Amino acid sequence: MTRRPVDTGSPDRLYTVTGGRSNTADTTVFDLVTLVVSECDPTPGMQSEHVRILTLCRHPAAVVEIAAELRMPITVVRILLEDLLAAGRITARRPRTAAAAADLPESALLKEVLHGLRNL
């Protein structure tokens, strides 16, 4: 089995798509599992990649899913998403973080609930 490179696009094309940018202003906004939802329909004259993102995100989609569908590197997709977010065309929501172990119910309480459910 031979491995193909992930980025099969032309570097010149990717440079053009991002307007020459190689980094996002804030790297914490879009991690791989951030859910993105489009807030509007594409408009005439929009960049084709932006149109595809808005179409894909009619239902919530993770950044990694968007990158896979566009067949573009994550860094390029993050830049495109940042453009759309700044224009108010998408919203981004990070998944909830797991609760701390101290905030979870005691195991004894969970065992009592399980026992009660089995008795029903």
Q: Tell me, what's the pLDDT at 53?
A: 94
Judge contact between 9 and 71, C-beta under 8 A.
yes
Q: What is the pTM of this model?
A: 0.66
When pLDDT is averaged across residues 94-120 and rounded to a whole number, the result is: 80
User: 8 pLDDT exceeds 60?
Assistant: no
**Residue 95 in contact with residue 62, Cβ under 8 Å?**
no
Write out pLDDT tens, residues 40-87.
999 898 888 999 999 999 999 999 999 999 998 888 899 899 989 999
Chain mean position to CA 80: 12
Helix orientation angle between 48-56 and 63-70, rounded to the nearest 10 degrees:
130
pLDDT top residue among 106 and 16:
106
Position 1 pLDDT exceeds 60: no
Q: Which of 28, 39, 99, 98 is nearest to 63 (CA)?
A: 28
Identify the sign of the CA torsion 42, 44, 46, 48: positive
Please state the rounded mean pLDDT for residues 90-97: 83
* pLDDT of 81: 92
The whole-angstrom distance between residue 1's C-alpha and the CA centroid of its chain comes to 30
Mean of pLDDT values over 13-37: 73
